Structure 1
Amino acid sequence: MDRNEALKLLKEHVKTKNLIKHCIATEALMRKFAKYFGEDEDKWGIAGLLHDLDYEYTKDNPELHGLKSVEILGDKVSEDVKNAILAHCGKKKRETLMEKVIYAADPTTGFIVAAALIRPEKKLEPVDVRFLMKRFKEKSFAKGANREQMKSCEDFGLTLEKFYEMSLDAMKEISEELGL
């Protein structure tokens, strides 16, 4: 499956504009980290783009989240992409690098968006790593962004600062598409 097919599939199953933007942001992070680690950028990007494919079907039944995505995808994507989708929501133990990265990346996009939205400009450009690290320590800020999940970047050899730096760069590269 190429990106255009994946994006079309995402838009067939996800109608919420902000959720589509979250998936596009997660794709950007996954591509950035794939490049950094010398992995397949397209494959990692597809995993990021489709990781919440089933969210609107499963939001009231979180025990099905990820499982329904894998069912929808069938044989359209590789097993490692399906495993990454399952791992991002805890339906599979995180074993591969892609599984570990998507797990950490998922809450990070929302955390970075929240950081941009509290700025007067409501843009990503003025957000920096120092600002993110300060917000990380504030438990009341972006409560839905799981701190332990983001900090799991250490499981694949990155400090939280480096992880935020790369994540922020990835999102700034697509800021127009995100409307930020």
Structure 2
Amino acid sequence: MLKREDALELLKNHVKSKNLIKHCLAVEVVMRALARRLGEDEELWGLAGLLHDLDYDYTKDDPQNHGFKTVELLKSYELPKPVLDAILAHCEKKEIVTTMEKAIYAADPVTGFIVAAALITPEKSLSVIDTDFLVRRFKEKLFAKGASREQMKSCEEFGLSLEEFLTLSLDAMRTINKELGL
């Protein structure tokens, strides 16, 4: 199986935007935290999170192929089918069925939402925001409007309340705050 270090190198070879790499790192760390919380395979979940937008530079003008191109790029690495299915599920290219698929579907937008919340503070830091702050921003429809509230609330499908999910995600992202620049 693809090792995390090799997956990160692969990501850096295919994704040129530093912000998108940071997003992938954030989704990875949230997926790992969710795997720990739910008693799942942290390595597999982390790989799905890290590689979920591997094809973005190739498909940003061709969104109907987003996800499919990643699976194609990863064919030679013989990743387990659940990882590839999760990658397809995050962008709704397959029915969302498994817990991992549900998790990545919710984790993808929550990372951007949390980054946006940190960036509106004077400190521009994850350390100054908390779950209550995030819940208040969640209720503001115009705040980070690109972060789907419906997707984030889907955390309830794998047994977490929105508050629990936001707390877990924020705590996970704080562990890599230097890499995220927050």
Q: How does 1:154-169 map to 2 (within 5 A)?
A: 154-169=156-171
| Corresponding position of 1:29 | 30
Match of 2:40 in 1: 39
2:87 aligned to 85, 88, 95, which one? 85
Aligned equivalents of 2:59 and 2:94: distance in 1? 17
- List, as ranges, runs of 4+ consecutive aligned residues in structure 1 with deviation greater than 2 Å: none
Q: Structure 2 length normalisation: TM-score?
A: 0.98
Please state whether the residue corresponding to 1:170 is helix, strand or coil.
helix
Where does structure 1 lack aligned partners over 5 or more consecutive residues? none
Distance 1:148 1:162 in 2: 16
| In structure 1, C-alpha distance between the alignment counterparts of 2:161 and 2:63, rounded to whole Å | 30
Pairwise CA distance, 1:157: 1.0
**How is 1:42-53 mapped onto 2 (pairs within 5 angstroms)?**
42-53=43-54
Distance of 2:68 and 2:178 partners within structure 1:
32
Cα offsets for 1:39-94 (capped at 9, x unmatched) = 11111000000000001110111100000000000041111100000000000111
Answering whether residue 168 of structure 2 is matched by residue 141 of structure 1, we say no
Give secondary structure in 2 for the equivalent of 1:74: helix
Any gaps of 5 or more consecutive residues in structure 2? none
Percent identity, aligned pairs only, is: 65
Match of 1:17 in 2: 18
User: Match for residue 125 of structure 1?
Assistant: 127
What is the alpha-carbon distance in structure 1 between the residues aligned to residue 133 and residue 116 of structure 2?
12
Task: Give the AA of the match of 2:31.
Answer: M
Aligned residues: 180
Distance 1:63 1:145 in 2: 19
Q: In 2, Cα distance between the equivalents of 1:75 and 1:15?
A: 22
TM-score by length of 1: 0.99
- Counterpart AA for 1:167: S
Query: What whole-Å deviation, never above 9, does each CA across 1:12-54 have from its counterpart, x for those lacking one?
Result: 1000000000000000000000011111111100000000000
Partner of 2:181: 179
